[in-house]
Amino acid sequence: MRTRPTLTWEPTGDPLPASTDVTAVVEAVRAGGVAVLSGAGLSTESGIPDYRGEHGSLRRRHTPMTFQEFTGDPQARQRYWARSQLGWRAMTQAGPNAGHRAVAALAEAGRVTGVITQNVDGLHQAAGSRDVIELHGSLGRVICLACGDLSDRADLDRRLREANPEFEATAARHRAARVNPDGDVELPAEAVREFRTVACTVCGTGVLKPDVVFFGENVPPQRVERCRRLVAGAATLLVLGSSLTVMSGLRFVRQAAQDGAQVLIINQGPTRGDRWAAQRVERPLGAALSEIVTRAGA
């Protein structure tokens, strides 16, 4: 029986009291050796919604595409690429916000040793961060499921435009549609019914998939190991804008706590990792991280 991956989580037991004081984070940053684990909440100030926040896509009954659906159903792939064709263009217009720039400044100052991001938007790199592990991949790349060829999403955008010249009118009508965290938008069935997908240009027949980890898909083990090494060498794991609902991110919080590292969280709302945290700060990330950079002298 096929089961859907964990999309929601409800806190149990006594919650970790939230604070608005970032002093503990400032002290950890001054000491150095901070690894960052970021989630969708860091990109909301760039106009990209999260899944589970107050205005998150799951609250709008948006159901993310699963790996099983994408690989097993040609109509699901058609629907995904039609919606992504419009959503990806909108995401390319998003720029890094104050939170991304603050993380880059802390890394430049030698206080942050590396970033693990659950986001697929590339905004950490756009802000200047260099040591970024994209845990869930990147919407900016496309992979062929048959031959493994990696290509640039901009190239696929051009090919899809050429294959679907009539879709431009549809895109114009729905340009204001809200983009979801996985890079697609909600479109009516009639808007995607005639959309044509394209195959890999290298092998000629392979199914193309965005180089992201879909719900229900495993993170590549080599990537997990890179993350484990970064966390193992950190004195503090700083979680930014993640509810830690899915195990792919939560496991690093557990690892840090088991290794004796300090876990600090800045997030709007409780997280599944609160039980392992020394403190959770509840403030908008851009303002909080900008204050941390100033007070830490980075």
| Per annotation, catalytic residue among 55, 100, 136, 174 | 136
Question: Is the pLDDT reported for residue 8 higher than 70?
Answer: no
Q: Which residues pair with 264 in a beta bridge?
A: 238, 279
Percentage of residues of the chain with pLDDT beyond 90: 72
pLDDT tens string 54-96:
444 444 445 678 999 999 999 999 999 998 888 887 788 899 9
As given in the structure block, the two tokens for residue 106 are: 């802390």
CATH number of 16-48+96-136+218-298: 3.40.50.1220
Q: Give the global pTM.
A: 0.88
Residue 201's pLDDT is 96
166 membership: H or E segment, kind and range: none
Residue 115's pLDDT is 98
pLDDT tens string 176-213:
566 666 667 777 777 788 899 999 999 999 999 999 99
pLDDT tens string 217-232:
999 999 999 999 999 9
Tell me how far CA of residue 210 lies from CA of 29, 34, 67, in angstroms.
Answer: 35, 30, 11
Helix (H, G, I), strand (E, B) or coil at 87: helix
Active site includes 100?
no
Residue 14's pLDDT is 65
List all residues 6 or more positions away from 211 whose beta carbon is below 8 Å from its beta carbon.
137, 138, 139, 141, 142, 143, 150
Question: Is the pLDDT reported for residue 292 higher than 90?
Answer: yes
Tell me what the pLDDT averaged over the chain comes to: 89
| C-alpha to C-alpha distance for 228 and 210, rounded to whole angstroms | 25
Sheet holding 18-19: strands in order across? 18-19, 279-281, 262-266, 236-240, 34-38, 112-117, 132-134
Whether 213 contacts 205, CB under 8 Å:
no
